[in-house]
């Protein structure tokens, strides 16, 4: 088994832990306890976003986790995200100055002096996308964030930044799992040294987002394939979640599992003691269904 590093590089000075703790759909009242438990369980990357409405709880959980573990700030990697504003949702996309102001508002809510990675959460910024990216470049230069990137950007969105003559994002956080493998986008990202960060890695689980009461976008074909992952997991003596997370890190993606259960938290971190063999990796490759079921990147020929 070829060992996998516990961190992946984002830039020359910054490494991202391979397994992070996601906080999407954790209620504000549950967030602090969940984040503290995650840090105590061994997570060294916490991922949040302004639109999750739980940054205050994340900050409280980080402080409690530090107190329980005696970690220093530099021992923890924190990702935050700008909500860019969406005209489709009746919002005005944020300008360059508004982006910088929102970043500082996130720091206040988190109770931090800096974040390790700051992302534009989506390409909804439209004609303000360039201005928003320029704001992130300024924030990095000022030392307020160690690395910068985007989330849910497709190839056309990324190409728009390149054609503007701007430095490319250092990371793109996107939906990645066996049913949404995005091979063309990932090839483009490799060519441009953009690190992939996967979310919704556990989408194939029958319990995925059920506890949050969200409707599933899974097709009948996807549901019928659930048994394949159970069989593979049994073969390696691991849980289905561990199998799906291992598939991501084995492909070179940082992953962001979420759980409120301490035992599952620890289990989700334990993806380094086994390797999926070539035959099973090849089988999973045939299961790609194209677009995502958590987020659509839209028409790849559109940048709207």
Active site residues: 52
Report which of 137, 138, 294 is spatially closest to residue 217, judged by C-alpha positions. 294
Report which of 171, 199, 279, 254 is spatially closest to residue 4, judged by C-alpha positions. 254
Which helix (H) or strand (E) segment holds residue 196: the answer is strand 195-199
Number of Cβ within 10 Å of residue 84's Cβ equals 25
Residue 177, marked binder: no
Residue 145 three-state SS? strand
Q: Would residue 17 be called left, alpha or beta, if left means φ above 0 and alpha means ψ between -120 and 50 degrees?
A: beta
* Tokens, residue 134: 């320029």
User: What is d(CA 195, CA 251) in angstroms, rounded to the nearest whole number?
Assistant: 12
* Tokens, residue 216: 């599933």
Residue list, annotated binding site for substrate: 121
Residue list, annotated binding site: 121
């Amino acid at each position: 088994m070829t060992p996998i590093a516990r961190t992946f590089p984002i830039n020359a000075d910054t490494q991202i832990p391979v397994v992070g703790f996601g906080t999407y759909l954790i209620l504000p009242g549950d967030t602090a306890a969940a984040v503290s438990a995650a840090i105590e369980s061994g997570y060294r990357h916490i991922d949040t976003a302004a639109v999750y409405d739980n940054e205050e709880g994340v900050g409280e959980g980080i402080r409690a986790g530090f107190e329980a573990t005696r970690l220093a700030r530099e021992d923890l990697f924190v990702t935050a995200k700008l909500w860019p504003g969406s005209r489709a949702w009746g919002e005005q996309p944020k300008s360059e100055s508004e982006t910088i102001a929102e970043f500082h508002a996130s720091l206040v809510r988190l109770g931090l002096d800096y974040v390790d990675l700051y992302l534009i959460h989506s390409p909804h910024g439209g004609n303000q996308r360039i201005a928003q990216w320029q704001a992130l470049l300024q924030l990095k230069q000022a030392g307020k964030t160690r690395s910068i990137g985007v989330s849910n950007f497709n190839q056309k969105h990324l190409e728009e930044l390149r054609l503007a003559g701007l430095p490319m994002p250092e990371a793109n956080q996107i939906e990645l799992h066996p049913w949404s493998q995005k091979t063309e986008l990932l090839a483009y990202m490799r060519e441009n040294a953009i690190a992939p960060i996967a979310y919704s890695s556990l989408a194939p689980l029958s319990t995925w987002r059920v506890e949050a009461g969200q409707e599933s976008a899974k097709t009948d074909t996807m549901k019928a394939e659930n048994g394949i992952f159970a069989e593979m997991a049994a073969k390696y003596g691991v849980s289905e979640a561990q199998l799906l997370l291992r598939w991501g890190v084995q492909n070179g993606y940082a992953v962001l599992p979420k759980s409120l259960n301490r035992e599952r938290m620890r289990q989700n971190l334990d993806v380094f003691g086994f390797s999926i063999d070539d035959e099973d990796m090849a089988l999973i490759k045939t299961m790609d269904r194209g677009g995502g079921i958590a987020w659509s990147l839209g028409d790849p020929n559109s940048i709207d």
